[in-house]
Amino acid sequence: MSVSPSASVSPSASGSAAAAPTQADLLDFVRSTAADGVLIDSLPLDPQGRTWVRLEGPGGSEAWLIGWPPGTGTGWHDHADSVGAFLTARGELTENSLAARLPTDGWKSLELTGDVDRRRRLPAGRGRAFGHHHVHEVLNESPDRHAVSVHAYYPPLPRIRRYSRAHNVLRLEQVERPEDWQ
């Protein structure tokens, strides 16, 4: 992955610094930010790896503008205790997620039932909000087009848990903390 400069960009944000933003507030923010064509076009795109720029989100949330080269993805992960929202601004992304409440801590491997998989195609202008411990992977499945998306999380990400998946077995592989992303 390549990292673009860690400059902070401040598009007009909804929400208040006094109140914690809700999932709906975060979705409103990513929707309005994705509509800012000048901001979206300002993201440097790398043909090999994802690029990103941190944004100022509403109410102290953490927000990111992310560029996705063709064929890239996040792998299975969650955002721990944060709620969030993301929206595709350009191109199309696919989200695979688990429609199951997983234990939050204390496990290394889980066997999933056969009916927990959800798949969403998110073309430009479409996105979603999600709650705590939402396990998913996001992919740009296009063979030849970049995608760009806007993401917001509250509280700011305390950690990301990364998983591997083989058939119906989900395994915790790594826990990342903010200092790992600097």
Q: Could you give the domains of the chain?
A: 23-177 (2.60.120.10)
pLDDT for 4? 36
Nearest Cα neighbor of 59 from 27, 96, 25 is 25
Q: Which of 102, 152, 146, 161 is nearest to 127 (CA)?
A: 152
Residue 96's Cβ-count burial label (10 Å; 0-12, 13-18, 19+) is: middle
pLDDT reported for residue 178: 83
Residues in the chain: 182
What per-residue confidence (pLDDT) applies to 114?
82
**How many CB atoms sit inside 10 A of residue 39's CB?**
19
Phi then psi for 132, rounded to 5 degrees? -60, 145
- The list of the chain residues with pLDDT below 50 reads 1-17
At residue 113, the pLDDT reads 86
pLDDT score for 2: 37
Residue located via tokens 């709650």: 131
Give the pTM: 0.86
Q: Which pLDDT score, from 0 to 100, does residue 101 have?
A: 80
